[in-house]
Amino acid sequence: MADVRKLFDLTGKSAVILGAATGIGRASARTLGGLGARVLCADISADGAEETARAIRDDGGAAHARGCDASSRPDVERLRDAAAAEFGRIDIAVTTPGLNIRKTLFDYSEEDLDRVLNLNIKGTIYFFQAFGKPMVAQRSGSLIACSSVRATTIEPGLAVYGSTKAAIGLLVKGFASEVGHAGVRVNAIAPSIAETALTEPFKQRPALYELYARHTVFNRWSKAEEVAGAVAFLASDAASYVSGSTLMVDGGWTAIDGPPTGLTQLG
């Protein structure tokens, strides 16, 4: 039997991570770099992307960075062109940026709606279009988008955001059906609650922080690196027969009916 560890080895492969400056995107870039991939870190914050690339280089990996607005088709296409020029071929492409404006439907303005749809939906489509073309031409590649637990479970003020994340799941299925003939895989991850700079304010509200933690079977938030592990799996040859899927990385959030009550521990 072949060495199964090699299935997770990304040595010699190229990866583009959009959203690499912070959170799950940053952790994913560092994880893929740690597994041997050459990484192009991209973010609307070029300085933040460069910080991530520097961290990968400090760990002995190969990485560089550039700025990119994920909601801009021209920017995403320029990112694709830069990656193609740098790497020759693009094996892995991951997009993580997303926007949530927490308001009820009655309170959503047209500007709010446009901002969320432009980044979450249009941005994902632009990314798939841009990076899917060279992957189809080379007849291989792994595309990974970022959905959310909010695609399946919801609360007041998240209807628009949740709808966009549910749409990403269907985009993944649809695009997988269109490019599978060329050996290109398309998947998504769906995190629940992760410890990142963006969620740091939750710690200032301990009751709310603990409430969300109790939605999981582990009674804790995830680390961004734990979500990045799922990205690494989908990027690797270990997932060579996985396409059109959304991988829940939610700590069991969708496995239980809200925060546990009553008897929570046996044995």
C-alpha 44/C-alpha 71 separation (Å) is 10
- Helices and strands (H and E) in the chain: how many: 8, 9
Task: Name, in order, each residue with C-beta under 8 angstroms of 107's C-beta and a sequence gap of 6 or more.
Answer: none
Per the residue annotation, which of 126, 161, 209, 241 is the catalytic one? 161
The H-or-E segment that residue 247 falls in is: strand 246-249
Answer yes or no: 108 catalytic.
no
C-alpha 76/C-alpha 181 separation (Å) is 24
Strand ranges across the sheet with 246-249: 62-67, 38-43, 14-18, 92-95, 141-146, 184-191, 246-249
Catalytic positions, written as ranges: 161
